[in-house]
């Protein structure tokens, strides 16, 4: 997937928003909490997303994927290149990242999001 495809897919999630943080990272959030990040400038890590602990352990063993800088302790993977994952798997991981973050939002925030529907 390329950046625009990732952007379109992430924004198709209910209540997903986008924001550029740190001047160079396109961040996708739900309830103001990030679930996927894509770098807008070249770097060692070009994308990252939240995973389950089991999936994190599995994915960091693959070529082109490692622990994400600063947030690996929260089970975020870092992609050295966007084609490190096939499109279908990438989409599944983004969906799961969204679910993981949404489920951890405070009940009040989830309720507020539901009333926006």
CA separation for the pair 16, 2 (Å, rounded): 18
Nearest to 4 by CA among 23, 28, 22: 28
| Band of pLDDT at residue 117, cut at 50, 70 and 90 | low
pTM of the model: 0.92
Reply yes or no on whether the pLDDT at 66 is more than 70. yes
pLDDT beyond 80 at 116: no
Is 59 in contact with 72 (CB distance < 8 Å)? no
Q: Judge contact between 38 and 78, C-beta under 8 A.
A: no
Residue 114 has pLDDT above 90, yes or no: no
SS3 label, residue 63:
coil
Domains and CATH numbers, the chain: 3-115 (3.90.1150.30)
User: What mean pLDDT is reported for the chain?
Assistant: 94
């Amino acid at each position: 997937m390329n950046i625009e495809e990732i952007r379109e897919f992430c924004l198709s999630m209910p209540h997903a928003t986008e924001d550029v943080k740190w001047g160079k990272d396109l961040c996708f959030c739900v309830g103001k909490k990030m679930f996927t990040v894509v770098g807008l400038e070249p770097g060692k890590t070009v994308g990252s997303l939240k995973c389950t602990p089991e999936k994190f352990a599995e994915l960091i063993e693959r070529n082109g994927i490692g622990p994400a800088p600063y947030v690996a302790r929260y089970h975020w993977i870092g992609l050295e290149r966007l084609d490190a994952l096939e499109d279908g798997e990438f989409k599944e991981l983004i969906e799961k990242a969204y679910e993981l973050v949404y489920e951890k939002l405070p009940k009040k925030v989830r309720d507020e999001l539901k009333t926006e529907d």
